[in-house]
Amino acid sequence: MRANSGSDSLVAIYPGSFDPITNGHLDLIERASKFAGKLVVGVLRNESKQPLFSVEERVEMLKEVVAGYRNVAVTAFDGLLVEFAAEQRAGLIVRGIRAVSDYEYELQMALMNRRLRPEIETVFMMASEAHSFVSSRLVKEVIKLGGNIGGLVPPPVEARLKRRFAAAI
């Protein structure tokens, strides 16, 4: 890992459901951690999505896979993202974009967040080519149908997914 070249005082938030964390998420965490003094990965409590893993399990998995990043913290939140960002004293929200369809939704959310908290900026980061097709939903669907998810999620997450789906059989 390279040393942080960003502002040591900049706090950024990378929010998501992370159900489960993918290598695409991890790539964005690594890249975003280089330009923020502190990157807070916020795990959204949204039980209406019927998550595979509990919030506590998702936080635990994230903490395990980001343990090597000195400036990355993981915590759960609920409610408005901009209020969570304000509580964390963050000036920046980081959002990943995989395709044009992501941009349309993310732009709408960024504009609403700007209206609610104009002092908090949103930055969009493009997914790397290797991960541009990967989503948590797709990973769950592939493993549920017995497919290989190697390289799509960090190894500890792959092991948890295999255990979770083996228990369901």
For residues 80-88, average pLDDT: 97
* The pLDDT of residue 49 is above 90: no
Q: Could you give the domains of the chain?
A: 7-168 (3.40.50.620)
Q: Are 14 and 133 in contact (CB under 8 A)?
A: no
Residues with a catalytic annotation lie at 25, 49, 98, 136
Mean pLDDT of the chain: 92
Q: pTM to 2 decimals?
A: 0.91
Residues contacting residue 67 through CB under 8 Å, at least 6 positions apart = none
For residues 116-145, average pLDDT: 94
For residues 20-45, average pLDDT: 97
* The pLDDT of residue 1 is above 90: no
Three-state DSSP state, 123: strand
Dump pLDDT digits (tens) for 62-79.
999 999 999 999 999 999
